[in-house]
Amino acid sequence: MLIAKTVDQVRQFVKAARRQGRSVGLVPTMGYLHEGHASLVTRARSECDCVVVSVFVNPTQFGPTEDLEAYPRDLKRDAALLESLGVDVLFHPEPSEMYLPGAATWVSVEGLTEGLCGRTRPTHFRGVCTVVSKLMNIVTPDRAYFGQKDAQQLAVIRRMVRDLNMDVEVIGCPIVREADGLAKSSRNTYLSADERRSALVLSRAVFAGEKLVREGERDADAVVRAMRGVIEAEPAARIDYVEAVDADAVTPVTRIEGRVLFAMAVYIGKTRLIDNFIAQI
Ligand code: PAF
């Protein structure tokens, strides 16, 4: 596995791969990899001749009071995992390699980024879209893989790729959960043992919502109310949002028809966790 620190190294690798007619898959990550990331890499490995994984804690998607400094990092462990999964290139640039002095260009998607996480993280998706565009331009992948756990991010990236005519297929992969239901996340490492137990309200709310829809409930507000009820029963949990939106347009819905995203962000202590499910009717 090549560990590339510079844009040029990645470009040279990709050019050589293209000359040999090999397809390229990209898995963008911020590192501290878990089974959720591994599932993206495994899918990329099965569908592409070459797999490039980026490990870059992107400063522009963190707000001024967010956890950029504290965000967990362990490149050695990440590299060992990626090597064992058969990855061809681990791209691990310094922030100064990704953002040159005087960088003045942003990629923003409007509308879809204003609700849900965008309400409390107003500059987050601009940072995500900018770095993902840059990675797409550097790697020029045939396919790029993202987790469904970040459902709003996935919808935003799909829209960006469509709107900017990026020649890449965006592939969303299912949420991977711990045995007890908690969605895998690098931020789970922030939780104390007690908080880890309290954090199970997120998946419990998801499963309760899914059950209601399975049983025939078509009133989105009724499902949201039930999910909120589950979370509010846990004293350590503080709701940021629980909402039902159109899964592609990220606009509020009241009836469950088509693809409806039920998404939540919940604070457990100081840690903000997200989870969701999509109802498809
Ligand atoms: O989902 C993430 O880990 C990040 O938002 C991404 C897509 C790697 C961009 O930094």
Active-site positions?
37
28 lines ligand 1 (CB under 6 A): yes
At residue 63 the predicted structure's pLDDT band, cuts being 50, 70 and 90, is very high
Q: How large is the average pLDDT for residues 34-63?
A: 98
Q: Please give the pLDDT value at position 215.
A: 98
Q: How large is the average pLDDT for residues 151-179?
A: 98
40 lines ligand 1 (CB under 6 A): no
Average pLDDT, the chain: 98
Based on its alpha-carbon atoms, the radius of gyration of the chain, rounded to whole angstroms, reads 19
132 lines ligand 1 (CB under 6 A): yes
Burial 170-207 (b: 16+ CB within 10 A, else e): bbbbebbbbeeebbbbbbbebbeeebbebbbbbbbbbe
At residue 60 the predicted structure's pLDDT band, cuts being 50, 70 and 90, is very high
Owner of token pair 């707000």: 63
Phi and psi angles of residue 273, each rounded to the nearest 5 degrees, phi first: -115, 150
The span from the CA of 41 to the CA of 146, in Å, is: 10
The span from the CA of 265 to the CA of 245, in Å, is: 14
- 281 C-alpha to ligand 1 centroid (Å): 29
The span from the CA of 18 to the CA of 276, in Å, is: 37
Per-domain boundaries in the chain: 2-173, 186-276
Say yes or no: domain 186-276 is CATH 3.30.1280.10: no
Q: Which amino acid is at 24?
A: V
- Full-prediction pTM beyond 0.75? yes
DSSP per residue over 85-141, as a string? Answer: TT-SEEE---HHHHS-TT--------STTTSTHHHH-TTHHHHHHHHHHHHHHHH--
Ligand 1 atom with the shortest distance to the CA of 54: 8
The span from the CA of 267 to the CA of 263, in Å, is: 14
Q: Please give the pLDDT value at position 278.
A: 98
Q: How large is the average pLDDT for residues 137-166?
A: 98
At residue 1 the predicted structure's pLDDT band, cuts being 50, 70 and 90, is very high
pLDDT digits (tens, 9 = 90+) for 224-273: 999 999 999 999 999 999 999 999 999 999 999 999 999 999 999 999 99
- Exposed, middle or buried by CB within 10 Å (0-12, 13-18, 19+), for 157? buried
Q: How large is the average pLDDT for residues 80-104?
A: 98
% residues pLDDT > 70 (the chain): 100
From atom 1 of ligand 1, which residue's Cα is the shortest distance away?
29
Sort strands 24-29 and 2-4 into parallel, antiparallel or unpaired: unpaired
Q: Which CATH number fits domain 2-173: 1.20.1640.10, 3.10.20.740, 3.40.50.620, 3.40.50.450?
A: 3.40.50.620
Question: Which residue among 26, 27, 30 has the greatest number of ligand 1 atoms within 8 angstroms of its CB, and so is best to mutate?
Answer: 30
Q: Please give the pLDDT value at position 61.
A: 98
